[in-house]
Amino acid sequence: MTGGFGASARRERRTAAGLAMASAVAATIAACAVTPARVLAAGDDGTVVPTDKGKVRGVQRDGYREFLGIPFAAPPTGNRRWTAPAAHTRWSGVREATAPGDRCAQNSSSTGTPASYAEDCLYLNVTAPDSASSGRTKPVMVWLHGGGFVEGSGGEYDPRRLAVLGDVVVVTVNYRLGVFGNFGHPELDGSGSFGLQDQQAALRWVRRNARAFGGDPHNVTLFGQSAGGQSVCAHLSSPQAAGLFDRAIVQSSFCTRDIPANLLAPGLPNVPPWEGPESLASRGQQAAAELGCDAPSTALDCLRRLPTARLMKIFGQFAGLSYGSRTLPDNPHLAFRTGKFARIPVLSGTTRDETTYIQAINDLAAGPLTAALYRQYLVRAFGRRAVEVAARYPLRQGRPPSRTWAAVTTDSGLACPTLERNRVMSRFVPTYAYEFADRTAPPVLPDVGYPYGAYHSADAFYLFDVRPPAKQPKLDLAQRRLSDAMIRYWTNFARTGDPNGKDLPRWEEFRAGAQSENIRSLTTELPLPKPVDFSREHKCDFWL
């Protein structure tokens, strides 16, 4: 499982200094036709299911069915490269759905997932509990994977515990990455939005087909972590996503404030999470020229003729989201502040030690920070405030500078911006806020001389298992208890827009400005979840 920012993301971003990490809800989407809920006939094991493009055959497991590698759009290859996802053709007979589709083109990751040159990659996976065959539809949860928009896939996540314990239908999605998903050019319609368009095509597929798998097409929760969570932020403010989902969960995502310099990789400056259209178009022209496609009138035709391998040379130069297209007309940061986003319940949070994971990747590649380099990083990221930051986050004997830098960037880059976003969103919609705080979470990277704690992406292992070649960390009994509670909270929220349920400690709605803002700390300590003074813990009065 990619944790949001793998080694390939680090390498590619390093080659593009100044690269943005991620570059009015309107008319409702027309309702899609759905088939009636399916009740199994005698002798029918439910592994063959009709979709709007043909039948698929999945696999019956212990307590659930899974259907892997279902195409939700035509292959975006050849002349379809950098176009909106088109409808897939119908197929005759029964299509096997027993293995995930190819991962979208990407480099290999630090967690062991292999490189891929596949552009025919728009596949999704459905996991349905056996109870979904009863005729009573279940909530649907659509998962958008992390990976910094340069790695990962839906197929590496195994949601069987989420589906069975939570009694929901789970859909995991592939979407175009890097230059294939986020490329921009002055002559290109939809610049920077092709991965987002893929995700919306998957949501439309869910609206059309959920019932056939026992899911409720009118109760869909979109959730994601890291790049997937940032994608959820984008869809909340995208007019073209209006009506495609009913609740949203945002986990550990850059959605508002600038990402501090040197956080994602050494040498990167401060960058906004959303790139403007002019910047993207200019970089697209420059990249095209580098590949010998510099004539404006023929540049796109030239680029579409290039083999995948050639484009992989600039793959990570387009590793983030941008606005200015029909899919995402406005900067979501502004949309949140002005209330121009989907008025649906939101569950939103971070992990307590977010960036230990990201810093560890950098340390493993380039060596740990020295005290001198730590001070240089502060100046590069915070300018005149560097002295103040150093006073708040002093170097201490026995604590590596890399760990102190991770504390700085956790608070300034993710924790406090998420608190700010929750405060803004709670003015308009029901908001539930959390911090995943199990500092004993099993790491997936080698030892780096300091504890990972509750690191970026650790929470995903408490919701999902993973499929090989990704590594599955082992949870102990207390962690499994926390995992079960998180699954119940997440799926209760998907069911009703409120995470509370029978035999669970009460989780109050977030209240901005209150003495206690009702942020829940998810730990292995009982009872859970515990209240936490999040602002004090992360020094948010200093950062906001």
Catalytic residues: 226, 354, 456
| Cα(299)–Cα(302) distance, integer angstroms | 5
| Cα(260)–Cα(539) distance, integer angstroms | 16
What is the sign, positive or negative, of the torsion defined by CA atoms of 116, 117, 118, 119?
A: positive
* Three-state secondary structure call for residue 207: helix
| Cα(350)–Cα(456) distance, integer angstroms | 8
What is the sign, positive or negative, of the torsion defined by CA atoms of 84, 90, 91, 97?
A: positive
Instruction: Provide the angle, in degrees to the nearest 10, between the axes of the packed helices 401-409 and 371-382.
Output: 20
Q: Hey, which residues does 171 pair with through a beta bridge? A: 126, 142
Is the peptide bond prior to 272 cis by the omega test (within 30 degrees of 0)? no
The phi and psi torsions of 398 (rounded to 5 degrees) equal 85, -5
| Cα(355)–Cα(345) distance, integer angstroms | 27
What distances in angstroms separate CA 542 from CA 244, 416, 449, one per listed residue?
A: 38, 9, 28
DSSP 8-class letter at 252? S
Structure tokens at 195: 């991965």
| Cα(457)–Cα(438) distance, integer angstroms | 12
In 10 A of CB 250, how many CB atoms?
26
The phi and psi torsions of 521 (rounded to 5 degrees) equal -100, 120
| Radius of gyration (C-alpha) of the chain in whole angstroms | 22
Pairing verdict, β 157-158 and 94-96: unpaired
In 10 A of CB 216, how many CB atoms?
20
| 132 closest CA partner among 231, 212, 73 | 212
3-state helix, strand, coil in the chain (%, to 5): 35, 15, 50
| Cα(161)–Cα(414) distance, integer angstroms | 28
The phi and psi torsions of 64 (rounded to 5 degrees) equal -160, 165
Q: Is residue 114 classed exposed, middle or buried when 0-12, 13-18 and 19+ CB atoms within 10 A define those classes?
A: exposed
